[in-house]
Amino acid sequence: MTLKVVGLYRFPVKSMLGEEHERLDVGPRGVVGDREWALRHPDGKLGSGKNHARFRRVRGMLEHYATYEGDGTSSPVVAAPDGATLRPGDPRIPERFGAGVELVREGEASHKDVSPVSIVGTASLRALADLLGDADPVDVRRLRKNVVVETAEPWIEEDWVGREIIIGGGDGVFGDGLFGDGGSGSSGQEGGWLRLRGLQRVKRCVMVTQAQPGLPEDNRVLKTLTTARGMCIGLHTDVVAPAPIALGDTLVVR
């Protein structure tokens, strides 16, 4: 099975809006810089769009854009809806998000819910729209996935649990040695191909319903996923061999 990468996304601050990219570096932790920062309450809970044992719902997070300054990932810059620019240590952060709240870098405990890298197929976005009775595919921004793959069959990415997923090669095909023991070769990218392994389907939460710039609140999304898909859309993956990836890369499943 050979598919193509058509979308790449990174979210510097957990539960805030993020960045669309043409190229991403992927390390053992996942997309470099993805969810590396989070709002942290004095009790250790992380700011989120939902309440959970690890998280506390903070209203308005999806109205804030988080990016990294320049080409680096050393420190995020948060653009607030009122035009303010916030950085770690800014005293306005607890004023906006709650007493004692700090913008902190990830420590020993991961900021991610389940896995390093998440994937969704375009056919699944269209199929969810069909379930909703909408003409246009569901906007992937609601789902906050890292990698969007052009697919013809709905939900096919959910069948990749336990399988190896290899991404690279640019707009062409993989070179010789793709399935060799070394896992490296001439893919047009330094470091060979990214190798992932499917872990489990992605179970969605209330965040898919929440409004963000350009997208209204839509409670139908989670209700429909719950009824028709066990709350799931997309695939969680683990990193087997890190490498950069880019738009137009080929994706092979074996």
Report percent pLDDT > 90 for the chain.
81
Assess if residue 22 is contained within a domain. no
Which of 51, 74, 105 is at the close of a domain? 105
Residue 71: what pLDDT? 64
Q: Which domain holds residue 224?
A: 2-11+115-253
98 and 167 together in one domain: no
- 3-state SS, residue 96: helix
CA dihedral 138, 67, 196, 148 (to 10 degrees): 20
139 and 249 together in one domain: yes
168 and 229 together in one domain: yes
101 and 122 together in one domain: no
pLDDT, one tens digit per residue, over 96-123 is: 999 999 999 998 888 888 899 999 999 9
- Where is average pLDDT lowest: 43-57, 134-148, 182-196? 182-196
101 and 219 together in one domain: no
Residue 179: what pLDDT? 47
170 and 84 together in one domain: no
Calpha distance 36→212 (Å, rounded): 21
CATH number at residue 228: 2.40.33
Averaged pLDDT score across all residues of the chain? 91
Judge whether residue 176 has pLDDT over 50: no
Which residue, 173, 180, 190, is CA-closest to 252? 173
225 and 192 together in one domain: yes
Chain mean position to CA 247: 15
What is the mean pLDDT of the segment spanning 14-32?
96
Total structural domains within the chain: 2
Assess if residue 46 is contained within a domain. yes
210 and 122 together in one domain: yes
Q: At what angle do helices 220-229 and 122-132 cross, to 10 degrees?
A: 100
pLDDT, one tens digit per residue, over 120-168 is: 999 999 999 999 999 999 999 999 999 999 999 999 999 999 999 999 9
187 and 89 together in one domain: no
Which of 75, 105, 135 is at the close of a domain? 105
Which of 105, 129, 144 is at the close of a domain? 105
- Where is average pLDDT lowest: 87-101, 102-116, 230-244? 102-116
**Is the Cβ–Cβ distance between 37 and 14 less than 8 Å?**
yes
Calpha distance 196→174 (Å, rounded): 16
